[in-house]
Chain A
Amino acid sequence: MENASLSPFKEIDFPTPGQMVRRQMLRHWGFMFGGIVLVLIVALALLAPVLAPHDPYHQDLSRRVINPIWHEDGTWEHPLGTDNLGRDYLSRLMYGARISLLIGVAAMLIAGVIGTTMGVAAGYFGGRVDMVINAIITTRLALPIMLVALAVVALVGGSLEIVILVLGLMIWNRFALVMRASTQQLRSMDYVSAAKAAGCSTLRILLTEVLPNILNNLIVVATLEVTRAILIEAALSFLGMGVQPPLPSWGLMVSEAKEFMLFSPWMITIPGMAIFILVLSINLLGDGIRDVTAPESR
């Protein structure tokens, strides 16, 4: 203790880069808000079997279209009411979060592997490889992705796996573009040249020198793509050509509620708001990560 007090630097706090990033994140309103909301949604989704008041698939025709609790005739037994088949809306909403999260993350992972591989290869090797990959990206951008996804899911038959696969195979373009640009910037860095001179294999350079340095951008793109997959799944299911009933996909819930729009608009607004809040929280989180780790790309 006495030794320490002799040091003139005692009062000065030298934060490590990691600490600085963490402190900035804690002060970032959007990051914290998005993070907390997202953690809540993930918790609700994971704990759905424990927390959900009812079985989300249990139909009870004597309890059809019960109003939610903020209506005069609402009951605490069904806080968010019941749908046209008498299924508890809150329980379906909680299980629906699992579908959105699963599809968003899984499709993002598939797209991330494809897009990052292509982008890094194009950016690192340049030349002919870059030209070919660029052509592939341009072609992909020219495909009306929603329409093609809709057609493929309709032709193959909608299921969770098919939706994930089709989305994953289609939304890799932003990964590829961003990773290509980031890798191009890194290619001529001294530490990459040093690794080359030291005789490292290309794979090793890509994995240990390039990848860690584009990780921040990768994470930001990943959050964007999770929300894109969630929004597209919702739209596909809304059109009846995504996840199939009786799964409680939020997009499907909106679709099933369409005919009750006149008298029970809450049946649309509840799952719709759920999609909105989930996407908003992930977007805020992504924006926060971008602001803190790469403020110049804002």
Chain B
Amino acid sequence: MLVYTLKRLVLAVVVAVTVSFISFMILNLSGDPAAALAGADATPEEIRFIREKYGLDRPILVQYADWARRAVAGDFGESPYFNQPVKDLIGGRIGVTMTLGVCAFVFAICLAIPLGVIAAIRPNTWIDRLALTISVLGQAMPNFFTGLLLIIVLGVMLRLLPISGSSTWKHFIMPAIALGYYAVPSLMRLTRTGMLEVLSSDYIRTARAKGLRSFPVLFKHALRNAIIPMVSLAFVQFGYMLGGAFVIEIVFAVQGVGFLAVRSIERTDLPVVQAIVLLFSAIYVLMTLFSDLLNAFLDPRIRAK
């Protein structure tokens, strides 16, 4: 387990560094950052001044090395727009994004697992079909459209929930649904397949033959085993979800990191964008690492490979 963990850790660090390098290159070479910062009607002198002020006249590799060295120490530079350290800007908003992510995730789990279990208990019946239909329909909805529909129905027509902002818990309900439902289909299908497999196994038959009522059989014996592959997918889905949260944050004006990212892209506030891209990659890498280690912990066969 220790060797496996170390191997995974090294791989995770390598991936994180590579991703940071690639995203730095993509963002810096996609245009002229100095000209973008200076604005559309800047004179060549102003652009040159900005280029020198932010060190954008140095070779790109030197810029990356400098940025990476500071990033390791937790310093992501200053935002030219806010004149504030990027670290503080993100630090003040990460809580909101995490809250949204966790709420969305809880919503997805609470919907996906029961649906998957029901579909597995009664395969190929109308309940199973309904669950499948929900998942097929859900996958075809663009999440910003789901968000806007929720606003129109729950916010504007029924006036049940506030439509924008992030100040109370009520503000998180609609964004969490709009963000979370996208993870439902994959989680549900995995629960269904896992349950189907477990339910046809010998120990379930034994438990039933012993005369156990079906409820404890389902939840104590079957679900616990069916859920193991779910746990690792869940981690990855969570990382993935945070990466897509910014669309929802914009729709509902949730003041999180994603909201900051989009506004910073609009303002070509590159230091902020770079830091946020790195943050989301790091979260994704961490989640995959957790999921791999958890899988290896639960299933010794993976470790041996």
A and B co-occur in one complex: yes
The stretch that binds B, out of A41-49, A85-93, A213-221, A258-266, is A258-266
Contact mask for chain B residues 243-273; partner A; CB cutoff 8 A; 1 contact, 0 none: 1101100100000000001100110100001
**Which residue on chain A has the smallest CB distance to residue B261?**
A147
Which 10 residue pairs spanning A and B have beta carbons closest together? Answer: A155-B30, A280-B140, A272-B145, A155-B31, A144-B280, A144-B243, A279-B140, A265-B152, A142-B281, A142-B19
CA distance A234 to B142 in the complex (A): 8
A–B complex contacts, Cβ < 8 Å, 22 sampled = A135-B14, A135-B15, A141-B284, A142-B19, A142-B284, A142-B288, A144-B280, A144-B284, A151-B277, A154-B266, A155-B36, A238-B144, A251-B142, A254-B148, A261-B156, A265-B152, A269-B152, A272-B149, A279-B139, A283-B140, A284-B136, A287-B136
Asked if B5 CB lies within 8 Å of chain A CBs, one says no
Contact mask for chain B residues 135-166; partner A; CB cutoff 8 A; 1 contact, 0 none: 01101111111001101100010000000000
The stretch that binds A, out of B20-28, B41-49, B94-102, is B20-28
CB contacts under 8 Å to B, within A226-262, are 227, 231, 234-235, 238-241, 251, 254, 258, 261-262
Q: How large is the interface on B (under 10, 10 to 19, 20 to 34, 35 or more residues)?
A: 35 or more
Structural contact, B23 and A148, CB atoms closer than 8 A: yes
Structural contact, B151 and A146, CB atoms closer than 8 A: no
Partner of B144, one of A235, A241, A262: A235
Asked if A156 CB lies within 8 Å of chain B CBs, one says yes
Asked if B16 CB lies within 8 Å of chain A CBs, one says yes
Structural contact, B246 and A254, CB atoms closer than 8 A: no
Structural contact, B15 and A152, CB atoms closer than 8 A: no
Asked if A125 CB lies within 8 Å of chain B CBs, one says no
CA distance A268 to B151 in the complex (A): 11
Structural contact, A150 and B265, CB atoms closer than 8 A: yes
Structural contact, A275 and B142, CB atoms closer than 8 A: yes
Asked if B183 CB lies within 8 Å of chain A CBs, one says no
Asked if B108 CB lies within 8 Å of chain A CBs, one says no
B residues near A, CB below 8 A?
11, 14-16, 18-19, 22-23, 26-27, 30-31, 36, 136-137, 139-145, 148-149, 151-152, 156, 243-244, 246-247, 250, 261-262, 265-266, 268, 273, 276-277, 280-281, 284-285, 288
| With contact pairs A152-B26, A276-B141 given, residues A268 and B243 touching in the complex (Cβ less than 8 Å) | no
Structural contact, B247 and A238, CB atoms closer than 8 A: yes
A residues near B, CB below 8 A?
30, 135, 138-139, 141-148, 150-152, 154-157, 227, 231, 234-235, 238-241, 251, 254, 258, 261-262, 265, 268-269, 272, 275-277, 279-280, 283-284, 287
| With contact pairs A276-B140, A279-B140 given, residues A241 and B265 touching in the complex (Cβ less than 8 Å) | yes
| With contact pairs A239-B262, A272-B148, A279-B140 given, residues A151 and B27 touching in the complex (Cβ less than 8 Å) | yes
For the residues of B in contact with A, the DSSP-based class is helix
Residues of B contacting A240 with CB < 8 Å? 266
CA distance A269 to B11 in the complex (A): 45
Residues of B contacting A268 with CB < 8 Å? 145, 148-149, 152
Partner of A143, one of B136, B247, B281: B281
CA distance A65 to B3 in the complex (A): 65
CA distance A138 to B236 in the complex (A): 13
Residues of B contacting A235 with CB < 8 Å? 142-144, 247
Looking at A138, A147, A157, A239, the one whose CB has the most chain B CB atoms below 10 A away is: A147
Query: B171: shortest Cβ distance to chain A, in Å?
Result: 17
Structural contact, B246 and A146, CB atoms closer than 8 A: yes
Structural contact, A269 and B30, CB atoms closer than 8 A: no
Structural contact, B19 and A147, CB atoms closer than 8 A: no
Structural contact, A143 and B19, CB atoms closer than 8 A: yes
Partner of A156, one of B30, B140, B244: B30
Residues of A contacting B141 with CB < 8 Å? 276
**Which residue on chain A has the smallest CB distance to residue B143?**
A235
Q: Other CB < 8 Å A-B pairs besides A239-B250, A239-B262, 12 of them?
A: A144-B243, A156-B30, A235-B142, A235-B143, A235-B144, A254-B144, A261-B148, A268-B149, A272-B149, A276-B145, A279-B142, A280-B137
Query: B175: shortest Cβ distance to chain A, in Å?
Result: 15
CA distance A123 to B77 in the complex (A): 42
Query: A232: shortest Cβ distance to chain B, in Å?
Result: 9
Residues of A contacting B136 with CB < 8 Å? 30, 280, 283-284, 287
Residues of B contacting A143 with CB < 8 Å? 19, 22-23, 277, 281
| With contact pairs A139-B18, A151-B277, A280-B136 given, residues A146 and B144 touching in the complex (Cβ less than 8 Å) | no
CA distance A141 to B277 in the complex (A): 13
Structural contact, A254 and B145, CB atoms closer than 8 A: yes
Looking at B144, B151, B261, B268, the one whose CB has the most chain A CB atoms below 10 A away is: B144
CA distance A139 to B145 in the complex (A): 30
**Which residue on chain A has the smallest CB distance to residue B266?**
A154
Residues of A contacting B142 with CB < 8 Å? 231, 234-235, 238, 251, 272, 275-276, 279
CA distance A115 to B86 in the complex (A): 36
Structural contact, B244 and A146, CB atoms closer than 8 A: yes
Query: A166: shortest Cβ distance to chain B, in Å?
Result: 9
Query: A70: shortest Cβ distance to chain B, in Å?
Result: 16
**Which residue on chain A has the smallest CB distance to residue B250?**
A239
**Which residue on chain B has the smallest CB distance to residue A282?**
B140
Residues of A contacting B23 with CB < 8 Å? 143, 148
Residues of A contacting B247 with CB < 8 Å? 146, 235, 238-239
Structural contact, A265 and B22, CB atoms closer than 8 A: no
Structural contact, B277 and A147, CB atoms closer than 8 A: yes
CA distance A280 to B138 in the complex (A): 9
CA distance A150 to B14 in the complex (A): 25
